[in-house]
């Protein structure tokens, strides 16, 4: 029972990734079929019409993963607890860790 719930949460949290993956698989297959259509005399016009409606998405315009929001939130809670245990001296270290995490997430996106 717990496994079903866990899998359900994984799918829900990754729904946009799953949709993108399925969309990419479909787009790749569609491109291949359109190329085949254009090489067939009876289907050339239809193949050309499909090419006219092929929007290209740029990787720079993609929204970063929603997991970064959860990661940032959880890291903030952990930093707060760490500060409570060790005192205010760790604030500078936590700020440096925040900067490193932010830089890594920018490079990953």
pLDDT digits (tens, 9 = 90+) for 12-44: 888 888 888 888 998 888 888 888 988 888 888
Torsion of CA 55, 57, 62, 66, to 10 degrees: 50
Distance, in Å, from the CA atom of 105 to the CA atom of 99, rounded to the nearest integer, reads 10
Q: What is the pLDDT of residue 7?
A: 86
Q: What is the pLDDT of residue 66?
A: 60
* Mean pLDDT value across residues 80-89: 78
Number of domains in the chain: 2
Shared domain for 48 and 69, answered yes or no, is no
Task: Choose the final residue of a domain: 20, 40, 59.
Answer: 59
Q: What is the pLDDT of residue 62?
A: 59
Shared domain for 53 and 69, answered yes or no, is no
Q: Where do the H-state alpha helices sit in the chain?
A: 2-13, 15-39, 44-52, 67-86, 91-108
Distance, in Å, from the CA atom of 43 to the CA atom of 95, rounded to the nearest integer, reads 61
pLDDT digits (tens, 9 = 90+) for 41-76: 888 888 888 777 656 665 555 555 667 667 777 888
Q: Is the overall model pTM greater than 0.85, yes or no?
A: no
Residue 72 belongs to what domain range? 63-109
């Amino acid at each position: 029972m717990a496994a079903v719930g866990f899998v359900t949460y994984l799918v829900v949290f990754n729904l946009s990734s799953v949709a993108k993956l399925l969309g990419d698989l479909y787009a790749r297959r569609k491109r291949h079929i359109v190329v085949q259509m254009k090489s067939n005399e009876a289907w050339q016009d239809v193949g050309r019409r499909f090419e006219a409606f092929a929007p290209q998405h740029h990787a720079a315009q993609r929204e970063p993963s929603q997991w970064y929001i959860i990661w940032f939130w959880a890291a903030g809670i952990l930093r707060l607890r760490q500060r409570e245990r060790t005192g205010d001296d760790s604030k500078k270290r936590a700020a440096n860790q925040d900067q490193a995490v932010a830089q890594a997430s920018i490079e990953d996106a």
